[in-house]
Structure 1
Amino acid sequence: MDSLFTPSSIAVVGASSVSGKIGNTILSNLLSAGFGGRIYPVNTRGGTICGLKTCKRISEIGESVDLGVIAIPRDGVLGAFRELLKLGVGSVIVVSAGFKEVDHEGWQLETELARLANEHHVNLLGPNCLGVINSRGGVNASFATGNPKAGSIGFFSQSGALCVAVLDWALGTNVGFSKFVSLGNKAVINEASMLEYLGNDPETKVILGYVENIEDGRQFMEQAVKVSMKKPVLMMKAGTTPAGARAASSHTGAMAGSDKACNAAFSQSGVIRVEKLDELFHLAKAFSVQELPLGPNLGIVTNAGGPGILAADACGESVMRMPTFSPDTIGELQRMLPGYASLYNPVDLLGDADAESYGRAVRVVGHDPAVNSLLVIIAPMFNLDLTSVAKAVVEGMAEVSKPVFCCLMGRKNSAAAREIFAEAGIPVYDFPKQAVRAMDCMHKYAVWKGRPPRTYITPEHDLDAARKVVDNVLKSGRSELVEFQARDIVTAYGLPTPEADLARSGDEAVEIAEQLGYPVVLKIASPEVSHKSDVDGVRLGLKSAEEVKAAFWDITARTQRLRPDAYIAGCLVQQMASPHSRELVVGFRRDKQFGPLLMFGLGGVYVEILKDISFRLAPLSVEDAGDMVREIRSYMLLKGVKGGEPADFEAITDVLIRMSCLASDFPEIYEAEFNPVLVNSEEALVADARMTVVDISAGASQEQDGRE
């Protein structure tokens, strides 16, 4: 995208001589940024604008241009775009609004713009965007106010208004950017495009992004995984309320909202998700100027006990640790500090500390072999020269090749000290928790970046047998699989189930029960009854022929009375599982952007009330499956407590991987759930399964996605 970020010629279509108009602001920004290439203002009135000769029509330019910027009313945009194509334009920015964000006609115009851009291999940014800024290349093709300083932060945003606010903040805090991009409606260039470009941009050290939706989840994840291995990606995702939960018909569907899918996508691709805008830039400061720590151990030097305790509390809420210093470090601190100073972590220099004390303390603590990074807290005291302290800390840390962060509390007299730290590449925060949060994120990212490659396996399964079941259900016009149909798919994927068979009468139920051996379970078999508990359609622990026959007639009669619309195939007679088994829930639901989202948790109250669940996107690696199991809060119950036997973790991960395989193989399966999966120390049995299918060939998948 060189023609977008480093063009040699730019046409501004809709350039204006009227101050305050968008076309005038874009032209003025290009000139004030020092753009050294050719600029062609286009305005139907002709004349000169900002000292530049104006073309009345695009065709008058008469030569190719790298970048076209269109800032005219919507109805003229498509014609202007076609004229730019005739000039062989490489990239086009459409800042004009009124497209798919407004009405159907606007959507049609935007669709045609995207079609033409893709057909002619032109980079299209927007429409409905602020523009683009390359701070190091003298390009400010935007209608933002002011030119940000050059830096190493690449920023892109779906919201133009947010871009304006961020630029204003950056100008006020002296934060610099390498590239600054407003994506707008993302007709062609989207967040995945920007990740790919900024990931390869040598001027960008850290990438920040704000999005409200992600156009192509799989494309995004593919790029995010590649880029995150090279440089940190921090993103803020707005619009987190899942509207699809109201249409869900399973535990998985009720809990697997789009925001859960986004969290899983970020986690699996190494993207650091940030909840607040101010935190986005607090973290960006750290990542852009400091190297990654080699471990979680943090040394703290402070001149006030309270802030030191706050920092220790923040460590306790994160993965950061406060190690014990070596005897040599403690001895050195003892020799150089007053007897009443605290020599342990955190090192409290007390309120009468001076610049020399700070310099010596950070040097000693920074050299301790147990310390991976250092936090220096400076509380302004009446006799403390903050500028001298800043110089002493910078000089002391010059000898230490470890990340160092500063918490400089107070704003009134700290401007000069903050500037000293900024020039030395030491990020400064107002409060201890902000600094610890930044170090926590940097350590987690370092761990993610250094992890071994993921292991993906495809377990043996009978794809043809499963395909036959799915096709038969689709041909019948039904969307819900009855349990014995779902069991056939479960079996085809090599998952063990308790022995069971379908009974169409009470006598047949008794016959099956005696073949399986008592006790048994009876469950209603009906494609219209997703949740058997709604009709009291399950009987457990049946120990005789009389109990089985009575249960059969009671279940079927009750279901017929409560659901007269339901087709009743009979009852499934199933072998009882071991009394020592624990119940699990494993499921997936197909997310509109990211595809199958898998869910795992303990059954019963843990999923229904506590919502103690974990999520990942398919395909699932072996490591992802293990992480899902360990991530739930009730994990220790699976490990075994008070003498209880641990669950068969290998069997649990096998269920998850086979579920992932099923989700990847069958886009027709919109939603599936194994509930319960009964696990003990020897095996994991899928005791019940339900699935929802859609006819994707008829566009039914889009109808299902519309639920969200």
Structure 2
Amino acid sequence: MSLESFFAPKSVAVVGASRQKGKVGYEILVNMISSGFEGKIWPVNRSTDSVEGLKCYPDLTSIGETPELVIVIVPAKFVLGVMEECATIGTKAVIIITAGFKEIGEEGKKLEDEVVRVARRSGIRIIGPNCLGVTVTASKLNASFGGDLPDVGGIGYLSQSGALLAAILDIAKANGIGFSSLFSIGNKADVDELDLIEALAKDPNTTVIAGYLENIKDGNAFVHAAEQISHEKPILLMKSGGTSAGAKAASSHTGSLAGSEVAYEAMFTRAGIIRCESITEQFDFAQAFANQPLPKGPGVVVLTNAGGAGIMAADAIEREGLTFAKLSPATIEKLKTKLPAAANFHNPVDVLGDALADRYEFALDVLLDDPSVETVLVLLTPQAMTEAQETAEAIARVSRLKPDKPILACFMGASKVEEGVKVFREAKIPQYESPEDAVATIKAMADYVRWRARPKRVVRLFPVNRRKVESIIERHLRHGAREIGESESKEILEAYGFATPSGSIATTADQAANIAEQLGYPVVLKIWSPDIVHKSDVGGVKIGLKSAQEVKDAFDLMMYRIPKKVPDAHILGVLVQEMCASGREVILGMHRDPHFGPLMMFGMGGVMVEVLKDVAFYLAPLTGDEARQMLVNTKTYQLLKGVRGQEGVDIEAIAEGLQRLSQLVTEFPQIQEMDINPYVVGLPGTTPIAVDARISVEK
């Protein structure tokens, strides 16, 4: 159902309008009037005949017309009655400002559920309850108590926190940042973040979607929608509340490392969402995305009147992985025609401390014509002869004449550059307090451009034996067994094309020696028990055994010591397994996040995985490019490529393993967690081996 009535209603009723200054009912009504809203406004209050010169009605029915939007500010116990009245008269959009619902506990939740039931039955959409309200600059609608109507701009903002939205409005007003609309979503009883980003994506007045969220109601739907929207409009989000106590209780390596914060990071990466760490950073990014063209690439040129500031910018550009644009000989020769001989004609271009506005204007004009320049960062420090205002006006002139490349400004200082900063606000040229802040914004823009240019996601499907996996999982679930042992875990992996080492279970030392003779030495012994997840923790793994006697001794020692360490464990025997050829040990894993589904993991394998935590996560299903990027995102990748003369391992084989695992966990949602650790990878052309594995399942 469309949310158009929240964006541009033709009439609004304020239920709970008040004559008393300082009350929410008064502030919202006054904001509605003072913002210049051109539709009809009907105050509703049984206790008075008029408010602020407008006729006041005792209830909605007595208005005689159907308000397109109703704002509810009455105490929580009366809200349900108001909703019933809205249903009777046919109103389809309601903003419930009132608090006292599920945020206060079970009783409040019951009341909120009743309100939602009325809305669902009647086709009413609700924003709130427990919210600040809604502000839309294009329709001059200020249905909130957050302050004056903000400046008009291209940023559409949604916030789960009303108090934070009030602060954002105040900061934006002081800095001349404009909005298309602002939505406080409160308890999200009906309209949620997904509804609003979809509505803002369609809103012609919105060029950038920004927001603050504490959680996401439907993770899968949000990822898919955001991924589509990000191709058209950038999404800039602050996300708090990302820790997860549940991660501590996870039994696998992957589960213990994958809290909800990791899942959100993976979701942002997948969907092309730009995550912001603070309000300041969000505004830094938003004003550039809203008011400047996107860069065509990472090439940055710095124009400055101070060497130190230029060096700061150069350092930041290198740290952020951007490209320091190399100016063409033609550009350098042209700069030399008018700049002083002592100027620096290479990037960063230093026009010297005595530069007036005309010198900046000439240099900027020339630099924008250079094909290697994709973004210009203009720095200025106030010196005795500096013309801050005139220089800003000159930069704005050039920007209007050559609008195809983004220009960001950093006039460093305070009172001496204040007039120049005002010019930038009017000209919609982003101004930053430090070179580092400006460069971080350029980085965000370049990353977004690169994300939008990525090839279409194509997930490879491998021929597999699904029936084999189904039978193993169904058997375990039928018997109430959550953990699948190593042997059957490896059967599952083999069904999906993984190679595993040969081996058999022994229940006596002699049997273990016989199995070892058949496999060939050296061999590995592993304790076999459904109750022991991490075998090495209890001395349940012995490697490199080279004779029958070593195998017998290791078997006897395990069967003697381990029952004392884990007296409640049911020990079935010992797995005797061939020892893999040498190679790099990595881990492939998956943790199923309750909101976003299977979260793939890659990192350094063996016992070091939880010590070093050098891991990367990505949401399944994986494409080949995404699997390879997971490898690149770890320090382990440098070892895998080969260092100091050592030959690298088969990178493509690891990427294929991740894709096969991704297919497995996508096709079997019963799998909640799993590890392949270690996954031993050798030289290019050799077959990786899944040495150890564990899988946990749920219905």
- 1:662 Cα deviation after fit: 2.2
- 1:232 Cα deviation after fit: 0.7
The separation in 2 between residues aligned to 1:62 and 1:559, in whole angstroms, is 82
- 1:503 Cα deviation after fit: 2.2
> 454-463 or 416-425: which moved more?
416-425
Query: Counterparts of 1:468-483 in structure 2 under 5 Å?
Result: 468-483=471-486
The separation in 2 between residues aligned to 1:412 and 1:214, in whole angstroms, is 43
What is the TM-score of this pair, normalised by structure 1? 0.95
Residue 538, structure 1, aligned to residue 536, structure 2: no
- 1:66 Cα deviation after fit: 1.6
* Aligned-partner residue type, residue 508 of structure 2: S
CA contact (8 A) 1:4 1:123 kept: no
- 1:645 Cα deviation after fit: 2.8
- 1:117 Cα deviation after fit: 2.7
- 1:119 Cα deviation after fit: 3.7
Which of 391, 394, 397 is matched with 2:393 structurally? 391
Aligned position for 1:677: 679
Aligned position for 1:405: 408
Which of 453, 458, 482 is matched with 1:455 structurally? 458
Query: Counterparts of 1:244-263 in structure 2 under 5 Å?
Result: 244-263=246-265
Residue 434, structure 1, aligned to residue 437, structure 2: yes
Structure 1 residues 121 and 506: CA distance shift in structure 2, 3 A: farther
The separation in 2 between residues aligned to 1:398 and 1:198, in whole angstroms, is 28
Aligned position for 2:134: 132
* Aligned-partner residue type, residue 643 of structure 2: V
- 1:575 Cα deviation after fit: 1.2
CA contact (8 A) 1:62 1:87 kept: no
Aligned position for 1:327: 329
CA contact (8 A) 1:674 1:689 kept: yes
Residue 418, structure 1, aligned to residue 421, structure 2: yes
CA contact (8 A) 2:13 2:69 kept: yes
Aligned position for 2:696: 692
Aligned position for 1:555: 558
Aligned position for 1:360: 362
CA contact (8 A) 2:296 2:374 kept: yes
- 1:221 Cα deviation after fit: 0.6
Determine helix, strand or coil for the equivalent of 1:240.
Answer: coil
The separation in 2 between residues aligned to 1:544 and 1:439, in whole angstroms, is 63
Q: What do the CA deviations read for 1:55-106 (whole angstroms, capped 9, x no partner)?
A: 2123323433221111111111122112211221211111111111111111
CA contact (8 A) 2:136 2:181 kept: yes
CA contact (8 A) 1:484 1:502 kept: no
Aligned position for 1:350: 352
Q: What do the CA deviations read for 1:378-433 (whole angstroms, capped 9, x no partner)?
A: 11112222122122223344443321111111221333322322333321112111
Query: Counterparts of 1:165-564 in structure 2 under 5 Å?
Result: 165-400=167-402, 401-564=404-567
The separation in 2 between residues aligned to 1:502 and 1:123, in whole angstroms, is 62
Task: Using the aligned pairs only, state the percent identity.
Answer: 44
> 303-312 or 457-466: which moved more?
457-466
The separation in 2 between residues aligned to 1:57 and 1:196, in whole angstroms, is 33
Q: What do the CA deviations read for 1:346-379 (whole angstroms, capped 9, x no partner)?
A: 1111111111111111112222222111111111
Aligned position for 1:102: 104
Aligned position for 1:701: none
Determine helix, strand or coil for the equivalent of 1:181.
Answer: strand
* Aligned-partner residue type, residue 563 of structure 2: Q
Structure 1 residues 89 and 567: CA distance shift in structure 2, 3 A: same
The separation in 1 between residues aligned to 2:496 and 2:257, in whole angstroms, is 25
- 1:208 Cα deviation after fit: 0.6
What is the TM-score of this pair, normalised by structure 2? 0.96
The separation in 1 between residues aligned to 2:253 and 2:393, in whole angstroms, is 58
Which of 590, 595, 604 is matched with 1:602 structurally? 604
The separation in 2 between residues aligned to 1:47 and 1:677, in whole angstroms, is 77
Aligned position for 1:634: 636
The separation in 2 between residues aligned to 1:475 and 1:398, in whole angstroms, is 70
- 1:302 Cα deviation after fit: 0.7
- 1:490 Cα deviation after fit: 1.5
* Aligned-partner residue type, residue 52 of structure 1: L
CA contact (8 A) 1:518 1:575 kept: yes
* Aligned-partner residue type, residue 505 of structure 1: T
CA contact (8 A) 1:299 1:366 kept: no
* Aligned-partner residue type, residue 543 of structure 1: K
Structure 1 residues 499 and 120: CA distance shift in structure 2, 3 A: farther
- The runs of 5 or more residues in structure 2 that have no matched partner are none
Query: Counterparts of 1:23-62 in structure 2 under 5 Å?
Result: 23-62=25-64
> 177-186 or 352-361: which moved more?
352-361
- 1:487 Cα deviation after fit: 1.6
* Aligned-partner residue type, residue 459 of structure 2: Y
Aligned position for 1:699: none
RMSD: 1.6
* Aligned-partner residue type, residue 331 of structure 1: E
Structure 1 residues 571 and 351: CA distance shift in structure 2, 3 A: same
The separation in 2 between residues aligned to 1:4 and 1:577, in whole angstroms, is 64
Query: Counterparts of 1:144-155 in structure 2 under 5 Å?
Result: 144-155=146-157
- 1:182 Cα deviation after fit: 0.4
The separation in 2 between residues aligned to 1:109 and 1:462, in whole angstroms, is 51
- The runs of 5 or more residues in structure 1 that have no matched partner are 696-708
* Aligned-partner residue type, residue 685 of structure 1: I
> 61-70 or 191-200: which moved more?
61-70
Aligned position for 2:571: 568
* Aligned-partner residue type, residue 673 of structure 2: E
- 1:37 Cα deviation after fit: 1.8
* Aligned-partner residue type, residue 392 of structure 1: A
Q: What do the CA deviations read for 1:671-702 (whole angstroms, capped 9, x no partner)?
A: 1111111111212111111122223xxxxxxx
The separation in 2 between residues aligned to 1:596 and 1:222, in whole angstroms, is 14
The separation in 2 between residues aligned to 1:412 and 1:11, in whole angstroms, is 46
> 239-248 or 160-169: which moved more?
239-248
The separation in 2 between residues aligned to 1:460 and 1:504, in whole angstroms, is 36
Aligned position for 1:703: none
Structure 1 residues 335 and 605: CA distance shift in structure 2, 3 A: farther
| Matched pairs, number | 694
CA contact (8 A) 2:176 2:425 kept: no
The separation in 2 between residues aligned to 1:270 and 1:103, in whole angstroms, is 36
* Aligned-partner residue type, residue 464 of structure 1: R
* Aligned-partner residue type, residue 525 of structure 1: W
The separation in 2 between residues aligned to 1:458 and 1:686, in whole angstroms, is 20
Aligned position for 1:83: 85
The separation in 2 between residues aligned to 1:653 and 1:492, in whole angstroms, is 18
